[in-house]
Chain A
Amino acid sequence: MIAKDNLIAASMSLIGERFEWQVRIGKFCRRTIRRTDCPCILIRKRRRTIAFPKTQTQGENQRMSKDGHSDKLRLGFIATVEVEGRGCVGGLLVTNCSGRPLEFQCTTPVRPDRTQEILYGKMLRPWLLGELIGKTLLDRVSIKPDIIVTGDPDLLELRNHTSTPVACTSEALSEIAAAMASSGSSGDLGGRRLRFHHSHPDDSSFVRQQLHQIPGQADLEEPLERVQQALNETVRTVMAR
């Protein structure tokens, strides 16, 4: 134990993921430490560190970490909205596994010309949403998602331009999307059945391995609503300027 007359100062700070009292040891000053105020008491004496673990409490499981982005699994939620007469706007929201937002990117409106509409035909939307908008957004985000979730089956095309698995929550598939989507699924997550690109059969098993990191009650469509709202807000703000 540390003799009382060795204590000279106390300070409290967040160190790593622990909230600690730091007590420097000296000769001339005394300071009382209340262990009940902190989960751990750290006492340093001549470069030696002695840590006294606090009795386990119910809140011990929820200690803070300073790095808010330290979660392992990151989810990307991608959605698009049509702007009348100006094309399509896409947004990508990257969250942690609990849905807390970490980064958001959205595009300016993208509109194909008449030639592209004719020549791409039924593949126009997958090309526009997946290759053009989706890939651009994915390239721009600094926090790369581990799984991308979308509600638009045409965005499954994005999977052909990235190594990140793309999952679709939508049950209704267009003809083209049905051709892209696999018939299998990774099972239910938050009451949603996920579909993947048929060319990438390993996506399903990869996502299944990550399911334990996603809370069971998570609603995967809810963040997509946030993206839609953010896109509408962006369009409204930009149009008003």
Chain B
Amino acid sequence: MDGHSVAGTAESTDVTQPLVECHAVDLNRTAGVASAGFNPALKRVPQMDVISVPLQRRPDFVPSWKPRRIPVKCIGLTLPEGLAFQPPEQKQETQSDGITLKKPDPPKKPSRLDENGKPKHTRVKPPPNALSLQDRLFYLLQPPLESWLAGQELIMPFEPFPYQYEGIAWMFARHSALLADEMGLGKTMQTITGIRLLLRSGQVNRILLICPKPLIPNWQREFRTWAEELPIVTIEGNGARRRMLWTMPGVPILITNYESMTRDLAEFSEEDAPKFDLLVLDEAQRIKNRDSRTAQVARGINRRRSWALTGTPIENRPEELASLFEFLEVIPAHASPDLRQLSALASEHILRRTKDVVMKDMPPRIDRDAELELTDAQQYTYRTAEKEGIIQLNELGDSISVQHVFELVMRLKQITNHDPLTNESVKLERLVADMEEVAASGAKAILFSQWTKTIDWLEERLQQFNPLVYHGGVPTKKREPILAKFKEDPDAHIILMSYGTGAVGLNLQFAHYVFLYDRWWNPAIEDQAINRAHRIGVTAPVIVTRFICKDTIEERIDRVLREKRELAEAILGDGDNDNVSLGMNATEIFGLFDLKKRTTKGASQSIGPARPEAA
């Protein structure tokens, strides 16, 4: 500070000559510290105290979350009580020394395995019309049929085929079902097992089964085989007894025939009419005519479930299927669904399998047509009858009816069987020749004819083969022994049957030859007859021989029927070209003799004989 002052003074001297003054500065100065008061504190020794801290004490903690139980809601389903079976008793054998031996368990059946090596399960699927959750769960929770029927609860004498398991599961879940498997695939067994499972699961308590009268022993036998524990009662006897049986409480299964059903139920008032949980119609084509009394009575039976069984859901017209659907209550009364609607309903309510689809390992059926030339005597008689017959028909003029033509056809067909004047028969000659081979090989054959008279005529001429006769003229009680003899007697090589009595419901798979001595009007009936032999259990190919006389009415009928095998296929689907076809209508019958149909009615009128009545 002081230095700056000196320099400034020297610069200003050049102008004003300032006075120079000198001051002595004392450089020896000392620094002092102002007293703040804390210095002594720094020099002071700090005082220290010891405080006791409890180390065991937990820190304070307030939880912000507590375990909370999540509310859980439940949906419940209690399954209905069913009829239970007592478990099989442990059969024990006691030896003379008092030691009790346990009978060894039967060998386990090998279970079917899927592609992953796991046991294959056939499960019951809920039907599409089961809307409520409870209904759907009921079906889903049922055990697979393989384990249900594997002896855990229900003893099965034989292992069903896979397609039979599927059929049983399908029927079990349906209130309206038409099982239309081809003949011989086991409709009876599937139905009995379905009934058994329904009873077992408490779905039904009272069942009515209606079948043609000759098939009642067959059903009784099948029930004994497949469901021995089920009590069945057959409605028979006088009127009072039948009425009592209809209304008897606590009977699980009633069996009756169509005639008894029609007759007996008409006597019940609406209030007293018996009620059923399940109504089963065997050979349900019996109600194909929806206006028939049988169909009306069947539809009027009070029931919750309806099953129909037939191998030929369509015999002549698609309308027959509508009648079955009306019985199943899937279409309104008198409804006339078109082909498209019928097809849609069929896919929903009909289950049909054919042998070529499900039984690939089954020995084949070999059809061969034996085209025969009439003998001279037959030829003469035939031509004479035909010529005279056509002349007579022409003379009838406008009064001609299908019945007139039909009578001529029948007469000519009988002549092809044998000449009534000379008893010559080309068919018999061929039959005897074939039968000699059959008998020599120890095999057995079934012969079908339309006429009982022909059968009796043949019986006299086939004595060397020990023929047995089975037709409507044989009393019902004698029929079962005849079938048993045919099966067991090695010398009985042929059984002569009528289409009406022998074509349905019989199991004759031990016969490997079938002769159709004359042709029925409808190949579906013929197929039914053939399938008495060609069915499950057959061990060898079945050779079917159709006798057709050349240049006769038989050849013309055969040609017409062959051309008509396709309509049912259009409705029932593929793989069904063998066993369903159409019968002949009036126009076609007139066409056999180049006659024009004179009536305006009945373009689709069937003029063949009535379906062979199983009587």
Which residues of A come within 8 Å of B, CB atoms?
10-14, 17, 19, 37-38, 57-59, 61-71, 93, 95, 98-108, 110-112, 115-116, 119, 132-133, 136-137, 140-143, 215-219, 222-223, 226, 229-230, 233-234, 237
User: B555-580: contact bitstring with A at CB < 8 Å (1 yes, 0 no)?
Assistant: 00000000000000000000000000
A205–B229 Cα gap in the complex (Å)?
36
- A selection of 22 A-B contacts at a CB cut-off of 8 Å is A12-B248, A61-B86, A61-B89, A62-B85, A62-B86, A63-B85, A63-B229, A93-B141, A98-B143, A98-B152, A98-B153, A99-B143, A101-B141, A105-B77, A112-B70, A132-B70, A137-B74, A218-B152, A219-B119, A222-B147, A226-B142, A226-B143
Among B132-140, B179-187, B522-530, B531-539, the stretch in contact with A = B132-140
Instruction: Categorize the interface residue count of chain B.
Output: 35 or more
Is B82's CB within 8 Å of the partner chain A?
yes
For A103, list chain B residues within 8 Å (CB).
76-79
Q: Are B155 and A107 in contact (CB under 8 A)?
A: no
A57–B88 Cα gap in the complex (Å)?
12
A222–B120 Cα gap in the complex (Å)?
11
Identify which of residues 209-264 in chain B touch chain A, using a CB-to-CB cut-off of 8 Å: 228-229, 231, 233, 244, 248-252
Which residues of B come within 8 Å of A, CB atoms?
65, 68-70, 72-79, 81-89, 105, 108, 111, 119, 121, 123, 126, 133, 136-137, 140-144, 147-148, 150-153, 155, 200-202, 228-229, 231, 233, 244, 248-252
Q: Are A38 and B70 in contact (CB under 8 A)?
A: no
Question: How many A-B Cβ pairs are below 8 Å?
Answer: 160
Using CB atoms, name the residue of chain B closest to A228. Answer: B140
Which of B76, B121, B136, B249 touches A140 (beta carbons < 8 Å)? B76
Which of B72, B74, B111 touches A132 (beta carbons < 8 Å)? B72
Question: In the complex, given contacts A65-B83, A106-B75, what are 12 additional A-B residue pairs having Cβ atoms less than 8 angstroms apart?
Answer: A59-B228, A62-B229, A64-B83, A68-B82, A69-B81, A95-B143, A99-B143, A104-B137, A105-B76, A132-B72, A219-B147, A229-B123
A57–B123 Cα gap in the complex (Å)?
32
For B81, list chain A residues within 8 Å (CB).
67-69
Q: Are A230 and B143 in contact (CB under 8 A)?
A: no
For B200, list chain A residues within 8 Å (CB).
68, 100
| Shortest Cβ gap from B550 to chain A (Å) | 54
Closest CB pairs A-B (n = 8)? A13-B250, A59-B228, A62-B229, A68-B81, A68-B82, A98-B152, A136-B72, A101-B141
Q: Are B74 and A136 in contact (CB under 8 A)?
A: yes
Known A-B contacts A68-B202, A103-B77; the reply to A233 vs B152 at CB < 8 A is no
For A216, list chain B residues within 8 Å (CB).
105, 108
Using CB atoms, name the residue of chain B closest to A111. Answer: B70
Q: Are B147 and A99 in contact (CB under 8 A)?
A: yes
| Shortest Cβ gap from A211 to chain B (Å) | 14
A64–B70 Cα gap in the complex (Å)?
45
For B229, list chain A residues within 8 Å (CB).
59, 62-64
For B250, list chain A residues within 8 Å (CB).
11-14
Which of B74, B85, B108, B121 touches A106 (beta carbons < 8 Å)? B74
Q: Are A115 and B65 in contact (CB under 8 A)?
A: yes
For B85, list chain A residues within 8 Å (CB).
62-65
A64–B199 Cα gap in the complex (Å)?
11
Which of A19, A38, A95, A105 touches B75 (beta carbons < 8 Å)? A105
Which of B73, B86, B121, B148 touches A63 (beta carbons < 8 Å)? B86
Using CB atoms, name the residue of chain A closest to B72. Answer: A136
| Shortest Cβ gap from A161 to chain B (Å) | 12
For B108, list chain A residues within 8 Å (CB).
216-217
Q: Are A62 and B228 in contact (CB under 8 A)?
A: yes
Q: Are A217 and B84 in contact (CB under 8 A)?
A: no
Which of B136, B153, B249 touches A233 (beta carbons < 8 Å)? B136
| Shortest Cβ gap from B112 to chain A (Å) | 13
Which of A10, A58, A66, A100 touches B153 (beta carbons < 8 Å)? A100
For B72, list chain A residues within 8 Å (CB).
107-108, 110, 132-133, 136
A63–B228 Cα gap in the complex (Å)?
9
A107–B148 Cα gap in the complex (Å)?
27
Using CB atoms, name the residue of chain B closest to A237. Answer: B133
For B123, list chain A residues within 8 Å (CB).
229
| Shortest Cβ gap from B165 to chain A (Å) | 15
Known A-B contacts A64-B84, A98-B153, A101-B79; the reply to A132 vs B69 at CB < 8 A is yes
| Shortest Cβ gap from B168 to chain A (Å) | 16
Which of A66, A69, A217, A226 touches B141 (beta carbons < 8 Å)? A226
Q: Are B155 and A62 in contact (CB under 8 A)?
A: yes
For B86, list chain A residues within 8 Å (CB).
17, 61-65
For A106, list chain B residues within 8 Å (CB).
74-75
Q: Are A217 and B150 in contact (CB under 8 A)?
A: yes
Known A-B contacts A19-B231, A98-B152, A99-B147; the reply to A62 vs B88 at CB < 8 A is yes
For A69, list chain B residues within 8 Å (CB).
81, 84
For A17, list chain B residues within 8 Å (CB).
86
A100–B201 Cα gap in the complex (Å)?
8
| Shortest Cβ gap from B480 to chain A (Å) | 15
A59–B229 Cα gap in the complex (Å)?
6
A12–B248 Cα gap in the complex (Å)?
6
Using CB atoms, name the residue of chain B closest to A17. Answer: B86
A115–B67 Cα gap in the complex (Å)?
10
For B105, list chain A residues within 8 Å (CB).
216
Q: Are A110 and B70 in contact (CB under 8 A)?
A: yes
Using CB atoms, name the residue of chain A closest to B85. Answer: A62
Known A-B contacts A12-B251, A61-B88; the reply to A66 vs B233 at CB < 8 A is no
Using CB atoms, name the residue of chain A closest to B82. Answer: A68
Pick from A38, A58, A219 the residue with the most CB of B within 10 Å: A219
Known A-B contacts A58-B228, A65-B86; the reply to A104 vs B74 at CB < 8 A is no
| Shortest Cβ gap from B67 to chain A (Å) | 8
Q: Are B141 and A11 in contact (CB under 8 A)?
A: no
A198–B427 Cα gap in the complex (Å)?
84
A119–B111 Cα gap in the complex (Å)?
48
Known A-B contacts A63-B86, A106-B75; the reply to A101 vs B142 at CB < 8 A is yes
Q: Are B137 and A230 in contact (CB under 8 A)?
A: yes
For B152, list chain A residues within 8 Å (CB).
98-99, 215, 217-218
A106–B140 Cα gap in the complex (Å)?
14
